[in-house]
Chain A
Amino acid sequence: MKEGRPRSFYVLAIFFAAYTLFLYGPMIAIYVLSFQGPQGGLTFPMNGVSTFWLQKLFQGTGIVDLGAAFRRSLLLGVIVMVVTVVLSVAAGMAFRRKFKAQSILFYSAIASLIVPSIITSLGISLEFRIIDDLIKAHWNENFETSMGLLTSGLGAHLTWTLPFGLLIMFAIFNRFDPRLEEAARDLGATPWQAFRHVVLPIILPSVIGIGLFGFTLSWDELARSSQAIGAVNTLPLDLQGLTTTVTNPDIYALGTIISAVSFAVITLALGTIHMLNKRQAAKGSDAGKGLV
């Protein structure tokens, strides 16, 4: 006979539901409000339903050049994602055996995660300013700046995404059976073959998870970009700028667009992970098959 649920279950289930509502309720409110009628304001009730504000955003009649910011953020997000995945997987593999400087790398990653973003951001901006001054003083007087989206900006984002990537790799290898790889090597696989055909297929779902963190954290990053991005703005920086000035719903429309990209990426990643897991469950792992 099945035991009934204790009363604490129902209390906590309601608590959990309330927390979920608290998490999602406000977000849903602005998605709805971005479909305000042309006369609509920043709050409920809705004044008609239209795509006026979303269209206005796409026509570029808004306050900032959103198209350019959108492309910049997308480019940076994709690069951050790729670099995060590659460097995290590589470093994760290194942590499977002892090496010197292991604890230095580990503590750097943890420190990078918890040192307040504004300090990291300020430090990067000082570093690049000093580099600029050196170049101007010694090589080229007309030099503008080495700060930019793909130099200081990329570095700032990586200090935020790499620790997550490394921690996910630790979680993966905590429950990874090293005998699979050893078996492959005994059968004559080179280290690279063992990685490519045995290890990678098994960890691939989690690696996609690292990519998901890499892209979404970069796409929405604000605090570290604030001082380190250089002359141009990313989309979240533009959005933050709007919070102090805007009085009509185009800020919600922009929020909805940014979120739509996030949700598209989340859905794509989770869908792929689900598909890979199902395939692994159905066919067993690919381990060994690629060694022929």
Chain B
Amino acid sequence: MDTSEDIVQQPSPDLVRGSETARPVKAARLSPSFISWLQAGPMMLVFLAFFLIPLVFVVIVSFWDYNEYQLLPTFSGRGYTDTFEGCIAQLPDLCTIGRTYVKTLKLCIMVWAITLFIGFWVAYFLAFHVKSKTWQMGLSLLCTIPFWTSNVIRMIAWIPLLGRNGLVNSGLVKSGLINQPLEWLLFSEFSVVLALVHLFTFFMVVPIFNSMVRIDKSLIEAAYDAGATGFQTLVNVIIPLAKPGIVIGSIFVITIVMGDFITIGVMGGQQIASAGKIIETRVNALQFPAAAANAVILLIITFLIITMMSRIVDIKKEL
């Protein structure tokens, strides 16, 4: 037992080399590639059964026909023609689907810009200003814990603050700044953006922080020694090196907001349309091919956005 611990602590080069020649003989019973299949196979099967095949079905069903109450497995482009109904006739005005996508993209850009700003500075503070590892760990945990709690609860948590008689309104009325409660605080685009930022800034903080802690501190010192100002160091050293994290965080936030229907539903008082909400509405009306067609459109647009962004950075290298 004692000798084994010594070896663990001080592996000699001979031993490591020896292991490489000895292993094939020992593991001859099961080939390494078979073991890999056993280890990775179950997860692959789950993704196959509950992710890849369902995606194929979404594409197939989007080309099926339907009536009021059931799917008709015959080829039809009705899912798509229904979706784009009136789009050519109404030109140059946007049709419903066009308007919805413009609106969703607008929400997306707003939420992206705000989460990027907040996420960048929170990560910057944690990575460069918090020196002790314990504090860094503790404060990162503080940012992570809400992610482990319910999104719906974090949405309804805004009701007592933003509602007609909520804290913000009553405070403003009491202070004499306004005469009547503000109506646009809750169940509005404002509350949707607020809730999305509240829920998903986490997805920005983590990857940016990861990129930042990997930056060699001596590079920053070198920049200062060479006479760079704080701002120049930020723009020319830190931001380029944190770019992978920024891109990964952006991909997360953008894809989440593009497909979101719950936050937009709850915080928008079920009144605001979005790309994800159309799919939900179609499903609730049992118009599955139309829902699937919308899902395919959303998938293509999301995929285009991700391809554009991953041009900037090789995701696989960063993880």
Q: Which of A248-292 contact B (CB under 8 A)?
A: 251-252, 255, 258-259, 262-263, 265-266, 270, 284-285, 287-289, 291-292
Q: Decide: B145 and A266 in contact? CB cutoff 8 A.
A: yes
Q: Decide: A263 and B149 in contact? CB cutoff 8 A.
A: yes
> In the bound complex, how far is the Cα of B52 from the Cα of A38, in angstroms?
50
Binds A, one of B93-101, B154-162, B237-245: B154-162
Q: Which of A102-141 contact B (CB under 8 A)?
A: 102-106, 108-112, 114-120, 122-127, 129-130, 133
Other A-B pairs, 6, CB within 8 Å; known A114-B251, A118-B298, A184-B8: A99-B32, A116-B260, A123-B51, A183-B7, A243-B156, A262-B149
Question: CB < 8 Å: which of B26, B36, B145, B165 contacts A94?
Answer: B36
> In the bound complex, how far is the Cα of B23 from the Cα of A167, in angstroms?
28
> In the bound complex, how far is the Cα of B39 from the Cα of A86, in angstroms?
10
Question: CB < 8 Å: which of A9, A101, A258, A259 contacts B129?
Answer: A9
Q: Which of A5-39 contact B (CB under 8 A)?
A: 5, 8-9, 12-13, 15-16, 19-20, 22-27, 29-30, 33
Closest CB in chain A relative to B311 CB, distance in Å = 16
Q: Decide: A87 and B50 in contact? CB cutoff 8 A.
A: no
10 closest A-B pairs (Cβ-Cβ)?
A116-B259, A123-B54, A155-B50, A26-B157, A99-B36, A94-B39, A94-B40, A216-B148, A288-B4, A220-B150
A176 at the interface (CB under 8 A from B): no
A126-B292, A236-B152 known; A179-B44 Cβ under 8 A: no
Binding site for B on A (CB under 8 A): 5, 8-9, 12-13, 15-16, 19-20, 22-27, 29-30, 33, 41-44, 86-88, 90-91, 93-95, 97, 99-106, 108-112, 114-120, 122-127, 129-130, 133, 152, 155-156, 158-159, 162, 166-167, 170, 179-180, 182-187, 190-191, 212-213, 216-217, 219-220, 222-223, 226-227, 236, 239-240, 243-244, 251-252, 255, 258-259, 262-263, 265-266, 270, 284-285, 287-289, 291-292
Question: CB < 8 Å: which of B26, B54, B126 contacts A120?
Answer: B54
Closest CB in chain A relative to B16 CB, distance in Å = 6
B261 at the interface (CB under 8 A from A): yes
A27-B153, A91-B43, A179-B16 known; A43-B166 Cβ under 8 A: yes
Closest CB in chain B relative to A168 CB, distance in Å = 11
Identify 29 residue pairs between A and B in the complex whose beta-carbon atoms are under 8 Å apart, listed by A's number: A12-B129, A20-B142, A29-B161, A90-B43, A91-B40, A94-B36, A108-B52, A110-B315, A116-B276, A116-B302, A123-B55, A123-B57, A123-B295, A124-B54, A126-B292, A127-B53, A129-B288, A130-B57, A133-B71, A183-B7, A186-B15, A223-B262, A236-B150, A240-B262, A243-B155, A243-B156, A258-B153, A259-B150, A266-B145
Binds A, one of B74-82, B83-91, B116-124, B215-223: B116-124
On chain B, the residues within 8 Å of A166 by CB distance are 43
Binding site for A on B (CB under 8 A): 1, 4-5, 7-8, 11, 15-16, 18-19, 22-23, 26-27, 32-33, 35-40, 42-44, 46-55, 57-58, 61, 71, 118, 121-122, 124-126, 129, 139, 141-143, 145-146, 148-161, 163, 165-167, 170, 198, 201, 230, 251-252, 255-256, 258-262, 266, 270, 276, 279-280, 283, 288, 291-292, 295, 298-299, 302, 306, 315-316, 319
Closest CB in chain A relative to B303 CB, distance in Å = 9
Question: CB < 8 Å: which of A27, A101, A108, A180 contacts B154?
Answer: A27
Q: Decide: B51 and A220 in contact? CB cutoff 8 A.
A: no
On chain B, the residues within 8 Å of A266 by CB distance are 145, 148
Q: Decide: A122 and B291 in contact? CB cutoff 8 A.
A: yes
Q: Decide: B141 and A270 in contact? CB cutoff 8 A.
A: yes
> In the bound complex, how far is the Cα of B35 from the Cα of A138, in angstroms?
38
> In the bound complex, how far is the Cα of B198 from the Cα of A26, in angstroms?
10
Closest CB in chain B relative to A234 CB, distance in Å = 11
Q: Decide: A19 and B118 in contact? CB cutoff 8 A.
A: yes
A29 to B, closest residue via Cβ: B160
> In the bound complex, how far is the Cα of B271 from the Cα of A230, in angstroms?
26
